[in-house]
Amino acid sequence: MPLSKCNCEGCELKGLFFSELTNDEIEAVCTWKDERSYKKGEYILREGDPIKEFCYTKSGLVKLVRSVSDQEEQIIYFASSLDFISLLGIFSNDTYPYSVVAIEDTVVCSLRISEVKTFIRTNGNFAFSVIQKLNRVSDNIITTNLEIKRRRLPGRIAYILLYFANDIYKHTTFELPVSRKEIADFIGMTTENVIRTLSEFRRDGIIKISGKTIEIVDMDKLLKIKQFG
Amino acid sequence: MPLSKCNCEGCELKGLFFSELTNDEIEAVCTWKDERSYKKGEYILREGDPIKEFCYTKSGLVKLVRSVSDQEEQIIYFASSLDFISLLGIFSNDTYPYSVVAIEDTVVCSLRISEVKTFIRTNGNFAFSVIQKLNRVSDNIITTNLEIKRRRLPGRIAYILLYFANDIYKHTTFELPVSRKEIADFIGMTTENVIRTLSEFRRDGIIKISGKTIEIVDMDKLLKIKQFG
DNA sequence: CGCGGCTTTGATGTTCATCAAGTAAAGTGG
DNA sequence: CCACTTTACTTGATGAACATCAAAGCCGCG
């Protein structure tokens, strides 16, 4: 996995993450930047690994997972492009409390955490920018988990289908990037009941399923289930 | 609710929150500091209010709640002394996405958010300190919610009892600061089932209950229920 | 006193997990 | 490429976990 040539100036993240840095500073960043590609299924970070880098996704889709017992894991969050994947405890822990796995081909940009920490201490605007972004991601994770928690099975399934349709793919037809089991691990239900609910939605004409492809046919009904189910 | 005189130098938070500021800077902080006391049950912040202050609890106990419908609310977290209560989205939102209510008599210290933001931009070490602390709190909330989510009713009750006993009161006998309904709103179950489970624990000789007072009698058994229930 | 909120218990039905069994799909080695 | 293995998916039957409804006791407060 080779280092890429420095092309931060053209990176779509510049405006997001580096808006507070001067071009000279960005030059400096490039000397310790590392851009890597991961295939679907590959581990990007492993639970328990020492935190050495500050990572974010340039493109692709990843899941944050933690194992809660042998054979059992809990999915914390799905992070899409331009999200941070180093966040939970990155500045307060020494090791990652979760793993990050690519669920689609993903490009990750990593900065050495020590250098990021130095930048935070010396560049207040950069620090503020980091706080804002970390804050937004944590907020998202917390809110998403609360929204899931207050719903029952059909509502949870509706929620996640609409999440992929509206937030990730911005289309009513999309390829489910996750297995039924992964949905189950995310919403805290069993695989069988995830499948059953999807089948019911299909029988009721709310969605069409063919393998991993989902088409939302009756958006209104799905929204109502999300609201009241 | 009067402003207190400036006594930050002696505040137990100095080492926690202000360790990165010089005495002169702390002096400056004091000119826009506001310390207030709240009685049990009082609202400290209200969902939807504009975020003008950066608040933390000096002493007491509060709950972070959000209303999810008429008659229904969800408890996000219990914050004890020296916790931050302004966190979720404080640097990325304009209004509070949740309310904060005192569940015991509580003293809250508030700093004007605009001044805190300025300090973050001009004092990198302060910024870093804020990031660390926000990070730790978000991490706690996320982890707690995941731990609750993966358990069933008895495990969830055991979890919250042990949380109050070990983390908050550091004693096996304590006054439950929350109603049965509030426990229910936190763990995502009904009030009746919270009561039923507590009664079962009592019948099984795991705890003693008299009103709000809880005594943990069989710690081993409670720990096992927390682990496997 | 009496009202309203909190608590408690029981009865009942719904929701969900578990177990079982079978099918489809996807990877593996010859 | 095909037999083989494994993994993902699907459906049904059953029982456990939980919500809901109902009713009554308790307690603080006006």
Q: Which of A130-139, A220-229, B14-23 has the lowest mean pLDDT?
A: B14-23
What would the DSSP string read from start to end of B121-132?
Answer: HH-HHHHHHHHH
* Residue A25 confidence (pLDDT): 75
Q: How confident is the model at residue A181 (pLDDT cuts 50, 70, 90)?
A: very high
Q: Which candidate, B50, B13, B45, places its Cα nearest to that of B29?
A: B13
What would the DSSP string read from start to end of A155-209?
Answer: HHHHHHHHIIIIIII-SSEEE--S-HHHHHHHHTS-HHHHHHHHHHHHHTTSEEE
Whether A16 shows a pLDDT value over 70: the answer reads no
According to DSSP H, which parts of chain A are helical? 14-17, 23-30, 113-122, 124-149, 153-162, 180-187, 191-203, 219-228
Instruction: Determine, for residues A135 and B91 on separate chains, whether the beta-carbon distance falls below 8 Å.
Output: yes
Q: Which of A139-153, B27-41, B51-65 has the lowest mean pLDDT?
A: B27-41
The strand pairing partners of A31, in sequence order, are none
Question: How high does pLDDT run on average in chain A?
Answer: 88
Q: Which of A140, A142, A189 to mutate to test the interface with B (most CBs of B within 10 A)?
A: A142
List bases in chain C with any atom under 7 Å of a protein Cβ.
6-11, 15-20, 25-26
CA atoms of B167 and A206, how far apart (whole Å) = 47
pLDDT 10s digits, A45-92: 999 999 999 888 888 999 999 999 878 899 999 998 778 777 777 888
Interatomic CA–C1' length for residue B192 and nucleotide C3, angstroms: 23
Instruction: Give contacts of A 6-65 with B, CB under 8 A.
Output: none
Q: How confident is the model at residue B29 (pLDDT cuts 50, 70, 90)?
A: confident
Instruction: Determine, for residues A146 and B66 on separate chains, whether the beta-carbon distance falls below 8 Å.
Output: yes
* Residue B218 confidence (pLDDT): 97
pLDDT 10s digits, A33-45: 888 999 999 999 9
Sign, CA torsion A110/A114/A116/A47: positive
* Residue A1 confidence (pLDDT): 39
pLDDT 10s digits, B72-116: 899 999 998 778 777 777 888 999 999 999 999 999 988 888 888
The strand pairing partners of B72, in sequence order, are B69
**A-B C-beta contacts closer than 8 Å:** 122
Domains present along chain B, CATH in parentheses: 8-144 (2.60.120.10), 151-228 (1.10.10.10)
* Residue A116 confidence (pLDDT): 87
Q: Which residue is nearest to nucleotide D19 (CA to C1')?
A: B190
Interatomic CA–C1' length for residue B181 and nucleotide C1, angstroms: 28
* Residue B14 confidence (pLDDT): 67
CA atoms of B60 and B39, how far apart (whole Å) = 10
Name the token pair of A31.
């000397």
CA atoms of A184 and A225, how far apart (whole Å) = 18
Interatomic CA–C1' length for residue A36 and nucleotide C28, angstroms: 29
pLDDT 10s digits, B39-73: 999 999 999 999 999 888 888 999 999 998 877 89
Whether B209 shows a pLDDT value over 80: the answer reads yes
* Residue A83 confidence (pLDDT): 80
Instruction: Determine, for residues B134 and A136 on separate chains, whether the beta-carbon distance falls below 8 Å.
Output: no
- Complete edge-to-edge strand list for the sheet that includes strand B33-38: B33-38, B106-112, B53-59
Instruction: Determine, for residues A127 and B132 on separate chains, whether the beta-carbon distance falls below 8 Å.
Output: no
Q: What is the mean pLDDT of residues A209-224?
A: 96
CB B26 within 8 A of CB B9: yes
Q: B3 vs B16, which has greater pLDDT?
A: B16
* Residue A194 confidence (pLDDT): 98
Whether B31 shows a pLDDT value over 80: the answer reads no
Dihedral, CA of residue B174, residue B175, residue B177 and residue B183, to nearest 10: 70
* Residue B13 confidence (pLDDT): 65
Q: Which residue is nearest to nucleotide C14 (CA to C1')?
A: A152
CA atoms of A33 and A8, how far apart (whole Å) = 9
Question: How high does pLDDT run on average in chain B?
Answer: 88
According to DSSP H, which parts of chain B are helical? 14-17, 23-30, 113-122, 124-149, 153-162, 180-187, 191-203, 219-228
Q: Which candidate, A111, A110, A109, A131, places its Cα nearest to that of A120?
A: A131
Instruction: Give contacts of A 152-211 with B, CB under 8 A.
Output: 188
Whether A2 shows a pLDDT value over 50: the answer reads no
* Residue B85 confidence (pLDDT): 76
